[in-house]
Amino acid sequence: MHRVLFIADDFGISPEVNAAIVSCAGAIHGASLMVDQPATAGAVAMAKARPGIPVGLHLNFSDKREVGGKWDAFPWSAGPVATHLAAWDGKFADRFRSETRKQFGAYAATGLPLAFVNAHHHLHVKPVVFEEIRQCLSEFFPGFDGWIRLGAVRMFGVPGWAMKSSAPVMLGQDPAWSGRKTTDVWGSAFPFRISAKHLLKLAETAISGSHEVYLHPGANKADVRNGLLGDDGQDRTQDLAALQDARVIKVAGRSFPNGAGL
């Protein structure tokens, strides 16, 4: 048996990305909500209007904090490399713990069910964050029966031998986890370059286990015809097109007919 999950990340990062994600409702098995973005409230309203889309928490430690006092900037700038290094530095441990707890509290306050947990740039696999996630799940969501984004790293466009050797660098070793998790996590070697062909082939050939594909639907700001803008000029049109492909929508329903967890 194998399951294939198509998950749209960055829900809440902008109104345009929110609209793009919702436009892919026929293909996605979940949307990862960022609770600290200017468009978070709009994403929550969209999710409540469409309860058929499972929503999870997309913890964010590095990018585009909301200004004005509610969310403070980290001592490092935005960016995955600096944040990953800081997560290994004990002097920032309390900050990571408090930020994780703050974002869990903000998610709980939305009233949305929690279907899964992951993080921007996969920071959730760092021990200091992961242990706090376990605590927060028991306190904020004691009945949590969803999954956490863990597992072997797989990359579309990268040879199998290279994926295997790079997995510890990119996502770290799986922390001990007593609940459910995805066994394989799929992304693209080049950001925002997942195609319908990639998704269809995975659905046909995936080995046993639960395969989670994280995508970023949106569009290039230059694509005025579409209107579903990316973020900071990022071209997210390929991920968007993949999830709007009629063949992918059909496969998504067949691979995961109820769209409801692992």
What is the tens place of the pLDDT at every residue in 185-230?
A: 999 988 889 999 999 999 888 777 888 999 999 875 655 444 444 5
pLDDT score of 258 more than 70: no
Give the CA count within 13 Å in the CB-facing half-sphere of 208. 1
Please tell me the predicted confidence (pLDDT) of residue 261.
Answer: 39
**Burial of residue 49, with CB atoms counted within 10 A of its CB: 0-12 exposed, 13-18 middle, 19 or more buried:** exposed
- Interatomic CA distance for residues 83 and 104, integer angstroms: 19
Strand pairing category for 180-181 and 147-148: parallel
The Cβ of residue 233 has, within 10 Å, a number of other Cβ atoms equal to 9
Show the tokens assigned to 54. Answer: 């499972």
Please tell me the predicted confidence (pLDDT) of residue 84.
Answer: 85
Please tell me the predicted confidence (pLDDT) of residue 142.
Answer: 94
Q: Which residue has the tokens 């949307």?
A: 31
Q: Which domains does the chain have, with CATH numbers?
A: 2-255 (3.20.20.370)
Q: Which residue has the tokens 């409801």?
A: 260
pLDDT score of 262 more than 60: no
The residues near 162 (Cβ < 8 Å, ≥ 6 apart) are 155
Residue 5 binned pLDDT confidence (cut-offs 50, 70, 90): very high
pLDDT score of 9 more than 70: yes
Please tell me the predicted confidence (pLDDT) of residue 259.
Answer: 40
- Interatomic CA distance for residues 19 and 228, integer angstroms: 7
Instruction: Kindly report, residue by residue over 65-113, the tens digit of the pLDDT.
Output: 665 545 565 655 556 778 888 888 888 899 899 999 999 999 999 999 9
Between 140 and 125, where is the model more confident?
A: 140
H/E/C letters for each residue in 42-55?
Answer: HHHHHHHHCCCCCE
Show the tokens assigned to 172. Answer: 């770290």
- Interatomic CA distance for residues 169 and 19, integer angstroms: 33
